[in-house]
A = this chain, B = another copy of it.
């Protein structure tokens, strides 16, 4: 007699067979059999979040750093809904994520019980793929397909909706290895017409390279450095990148400016734009009376590698074809600036001290918003590091991203620079950092405002703001005591208002294991 397992056991075994070994979770009643199956499955790690936006954002951070998906476990439509904003960011990042969303038993849905909602409709806008097993026998192939989808195109968001009666059904464990094997057969990538691109490149007077996705990996940047060394071409990263290799030894490039008019001015300086992993640049927002299509008229644009495809080999092939010598010596000496001193506490002094103290192979998660510029500037030639950005514009991503990145990379320090407004959306992530003893140092830029909106309010031409408008962008009444907030969730928290105090606290935080938060009152 064949012994039987539950549908949930099949799910977890199939995830495992595909290499998924980490589950960020916030389950409810309809997911209890999955909880139980994870419990029985030693190789699946469960990381609890107190809010679903933490769960999905952590899966994003994990996917960016490990290059493979974690799964999430979410409770019905509302649980998924709470996670959608960070799935939006994950999808824009091209992160691999597999969501497991519990649903009512199939025979229960017609009763329209209080927690019933259209999960499929909720999932689609922020998922690249949505599946729902019709019978327990579908669970294994569909789970494997979900992981395949998540791993495709460089990283996508796949959502599997699991009815409770599929999760608790009894069935024999299916053979998984042949299913997994069949799913991993990949078709060869479409190669660009390298010859045409090389010719256009040589004919252009001022070609520009715009890198995104895998185009800002260490390997891609090394290949881009060969092109830059021989031709002196301008090279930019996209404005927001999922994982950007920076610091000493990596080609020092700037991101395309956020503001449409500056981006357009930058693009106007070239006569050929070559995209590697990057999308054709667009304005973040439209503004009254300003152009929103920032591509200069007539600018030729060629795609070397489409978004979501590997870039380093193609960049390398292009460099070979253009007879670029091997990897050039970096022109910049390694720099470890001295700690900032005798300066006020600001993004500038913080950025300088951060560059001074940055450990090797740190991961910097950046939701600094208006306070990102100086830290980015100062660290350009600091110790080698990865820089993770807010790719979808939905604030409240940084703390969860840091949580997921630290889960994926236990040996590396994660430094999360965060605006105070954005930090409050998913502040619950601090608790998961404390629970898992993750090496995350969060620096909150406490300027007590949605500072970017004060700026945007002026830019959209909405007139001079009165007291009510100003108060709607001001979060200083009352002041949020971030250090105390961190402590209340088990994270070491310190509030500083001088650069000297900041230096001391950052140095201590980086030398101790476990999570820390520095409230920098600027």
A468 at interface, CB cutoff 8 A: yes
- A288 CA to B51 CA, complexed, in Å: 28
Select which of B40, B88, B111, B286 is within 8 A of A77 by beta carbon.
Answer: B88
Select which of B108, B456, B484 is within 8 A of A32 by beta carbon.
Answer: B456
Least Cβ–Cβ distance between A395 and chain B, in angstroms = 8
Provide the residues of chain B in CB contact with A283, threshold 8 Å.
108, 111, 113
- A452 CA to B36 CA, complexed, in Å: 16
Least Cβ–Cβ distance between A490 and chain B, in angstroms = 3
Select which of B77, B112, B456, B466 is within 8 A of A282 by beta carbon.
Answer: B112
- A286 CA to B452 CA, complexed, in Å: 47
Contact between A468 and B33, CB atoms less than 8 A apart = no
Q: Which one of A199-207, A223-231, A471-479 contacts B?
A: A471-479
A480 at interface, CB cutoff 8 A: yes
A453 at interface, CB cutoff 8 A: yes
Q: Which one of A174-182, A376-384, A401-409, A422-430 contacts B?
A: A422-430
Least Cβ–Cβ distance between A49 and chain B, in angstroms = 10
Provide the residues of chain B in CB contact with A240, threshold 8 Å.
114
With A36-B457, A428-B427, A472-B25 as given contacts, are A88 and B81 in contact (CB-CB < 8 Å)? yes
Provide the residues of chain B in CB contact with A301, threshold 8 Å.
none
- A472 CA to B30 CA, complexed, in Å: 14
Least Cβ–Cβ distance between A155 and chain B, in angstroms = 16
Least Cβ–Cβ distance between A275 and chain B, in angstroms = 15
- A488 CA to B424 CA, complexed, in Å: 12
Provide the residues of chain B in CB contact with A107, threshold 8 Å.
286, 292
- A453 CA to B102 CA, complexed, in Å: 14
Contact between B40 and A466, CB atoms less than 8 A apart = yes
Select which of B53, B122, B475 is within 8 A of A122 by beta carbon.
Answer: B122
Contact between A469 and B35, CB atoms less than 8 A apart = yes
Q: Which residue of B lies closest to A460 (CB)?
A: B32
Provide the residues of chain B in CB contact with A490, threshold 8 Å.
478-480
With A92-B114, A293-B111, A453-B27 as given contacts, are A122 and B84 in contact (CB-CB < 8 Å)? yes
Q: A46-B471, A104-B286, A427-B428 are in contact. List 13 more A-B contacts (CB 8 A).
A: A35-B465, A39-B465, A39-B472, A79-B394, A105-B286, A107-B286, A112-B282, A114-B392, A165-B288, A478-B489, A480-B489, A481-B488, A482-B488
